[in-house]
A and B are shown apart, each in its own frame.
Chain A
Amino acid sequence: MRSDPAEYDVVTPGSLRGVVSLLAEKPGTWLTIAGGTDLMVQYAAGKLTAHKLVSIWNLPELRGIETLPEEIRIGAASTYSDLRRNEIVAREFPMLAKAAGWTGGIANQNRGTLGGNIVNASPAADSLPSLLAYEAELILVSVRGERRVAYRDFHTGYKKMILAPDELVKAICLPRRYSGYISYARKAGTRNAQAISKVCIAGMARVGGGRIEDVRIALGSVAPVPMRLAETEKILKGKRADASLVALARKTAASEIRPIDDIRSTARYRSAVAGNLVSEFVEQMVRG
């Protein structure tokens, strides 16, 4: 343990109003801590630069998954276990439920939160591609009120996001319009459990009358932020779902992604696997 606890403070206002007031006091001073599965690792390594932490763990306004007719609202402090247990998530957002089961072991899933993962913004985070595919919207909150943004616009660069210094993520909203979609989610990790992903994919499509009516392909770990393959989606949308599309999709995907060599894997491997996973997804569409 390489940090000195005496040099850190954690306060627990206990209400969302308390938290946002604190964040507004001196924007940039306080850092929110939810389940701690990212921040406490940095802390133990002596690398947590923020010394004032405000706990949003179990904050009632941030926990809980609300089911509305048009969308579900996942409180940002919902844990991965909460997501796995929720019937609507399992039934209507299976890629998110699946990704929740990839994220660490059971103990990590019991503490890791979806909001925490979003603001930690690791390009390798397992659940973020599915949020892109499902076209999530985030509700951000501050003393100035709430605003809703498309998750697609949230990450602007590696660890950069459109979150104001006094804001936090309140909820993640997923539209309930995906019955009739097929989905395909896979992760290539370092091992079968407790694995940081080298590539992960969340793909979904609505195929009607043999035609690809809608398609979304999101990948993690192939760019500084999780990304949608906009070009690949464009060449697929509206087309007949047929085998000739597979090679084209693979090629287009390869041109869109920008994987790197890092401590966990290589750019060449990531490219190849991304291509394989995109191809498998398209093949699945073709098979129907």
Chain B
Amino acid sequence: MTADSAKREFSLKINGEQKSVCAYPMDRLLDVLREHFGLTGTKEGCGEGECGACSVLIDGVLVDSCLVPVAQAEGASVITIEGLTDDPSYRTLQRTFLEYGGAQCGICTPGMLLAAVHLLSRKSAPTMDDIREGLSGNLCRCTGYIQIFEAVAEAAKRRTAR
């Protein structure tokens, strides 16, 4: 028995800007970001919260946006890969990912960077175990993770050296 819901207005902050969207409450935040706001940096890899390609920050907390109905993002502040531009951790990670080969095909990369930013915001000097754990919800099929670990570890080192 279906619910025949109507679209509603949801207002939320996206990458620092107050926005509103007319959507079904069960539209996935992932789809709202990609299709309504054209923020295609957030990817769908599995639709089941396993691969992390859809990672975003909601109120500073890392989540899989494929698992969030837009209704639950009402009033929240969402950061996608496009919104990280000024984040200093992200800028360092961009450089180290390029230097160490942290991105190959790139499809997992936005989610991986979100997870890395999230990790570094909570652990400024992460151990290798911290890094493995922090990224364990982001699947990468290309790199085998090794150079991602190197890039994140180096970024952490450079951030704390400042």
Interface size on A, residues (CB 8 A): 37
Give which listed residue, B48, B52, B74, B133, contacts A107 with CB less than 8 A.
B52
The answer to whether A269 has its CB under 8 Å from any CB of chain B is no
B 69-104 contacts with A by CB, 8 A: 69, 71-72, 74
**Complex: A6 Cα to B3 Cα, angstroms:** 8
The answer to whether A53 has its CB under 8 Å from any CB of chain B is yes
- B67 to A111, Cβ gap below 8 A? yes
The answer to whether B105 has its CB under 8 Å from any CB of chain A is no
The answer to whether B160 has its CB under 8 Å from any CB of chain A is no
Give which listed residue, A1, A5, A36, A193, contacts B136 with CB less than 8 A.
A193
Among A5, A9, A12, A110, find the residue whose CB has the most chain B CB atoms closer than 10 A: A5
**Complex: A102 Cα to B118 Cα, angstroms:** 19
The answer to whether A44 has its CB under 8 Å from any CB of chain B is yes
**Complex: A52 Cα to B135 Cα, angstroms:** 34
Q: A-B contact count, CB below 8 Å? A: 121
- A193 to B137, Cβ gap below 8 A? yes
Nearest CB of chain B from residue A100's CB, rounded to whole Å: 13
- A110 to B4, Cβ gap below 8 A? no
- A40 to B115, Cβ gap below 8 A? no
The answer to whether A8 has its CB under 8 Å from any CB of chain B is yes
Which B residues touch A101, using CB under 8 A?
Answer: 133
Interface size on B, residues (CB 8 A): 40
Which A residues touch B119, using CB under 8 A?
Answer: 106
- A8 to B66, Cβ gap below 8 A? no
- A1 to B47, Cβ gap below 8 A? yes
Which B residues touch A53, using CB under 8 A?
Answer: 26, 69
- A51 to B133, Cβ gap below 8 A? no
The answer to whether B27 has its CB under 8 Å from any CB of chain A is yes
Which B residues touch A58, using CB under 8 A?
Answer: 72
A40-B66, A44-B66, A106-B133 in contact; A12/B47 too (CB < 8 A)? no
**Complex: A41 Cα to B47 Cα, angstroms:** 7
Give the nearest-CB partner of A104 in chain B. B137
A 57-114 contacts with B by CB, 8 A: 57-58, 81, 101, 104-108, 110-111
Give the nearest-CB partner of B2 in chain A. A7
Give the nearest-CB partner of B134 in chain A. A106
Which B residues touch A8, using CB under 8 A?
Answer: 2-3, 5, 24-26
- B72 to A107, Cβ gap below 8 A? no
- A107 to B26, Cβ gap below 8 A? no
- B63 to A107, Cβ gap below 8 A? yes
The answer to whether B28 has its CB under 8 Å from any CB of chain A is yes
- B28 to A105, Cβ gap below 8 A? no
**Complex: A45 Cα to B66 Cα, angstroms:** 12
- B25 to A9, Cβ gap below 8 A? yes
**Complex: A106 Cα to B62 Cα, angstroms:** 7
The answer to whether A55 has its CB under 8 Å from any CB of chain B is yes
The answer to whether B39 has its CB under 8 Å from any CB of chain A is no
- B68 to A111, Cβ gap below 8 A? yes
- B49 to A104, Cβ gap below 8 A? yes
Nearest CB of chain A from residue B137's CB, rounded to whole Å: 2
Give which listed residue, B23, B55, B68, B137, contacts A40 with CB less than 8 A.
B68
- A-B CB contact pairs (8 Å), 18 listed: A7-B5, A8-B24, A8-B25, A9-B4, A11-B25, A11-B71, A12-B74, A40-B28, A41-B48, A41-B67, A44-B66, A51-B2, A51-B3, A58-B72, A81-B61, A105-B135, A110-B61, A192-B136
A residues engaging B (CB < 8 A)? Answer: 1, 3, 5-12, 33, 35-37, 40-41, 43-45, 51-53, 55, 57-58, 81, 101, 104-108, 110-111, 192-194
4 more A-B contacts (CB under 8 A) besides A40-B67, A107-B137, A194-B50? A5-B5, A5-B28, A9-B26, A37-B49
B residues engaging A (CB < 8 A)? Answer: 1-5, 23-28, 31, 44, 47-50, 52, 55, 61-64, 66-69, 71-72, 74, 115, 118-119, 132-138
Give the 10 A-B CB pairs with smallest separation, nearest first.
Answer: A105-B137, A193-B136, A10-B25, A7-B2, A8-B26, A5-B24, A9-B5, A9-B3, A51-B3, A10-B71
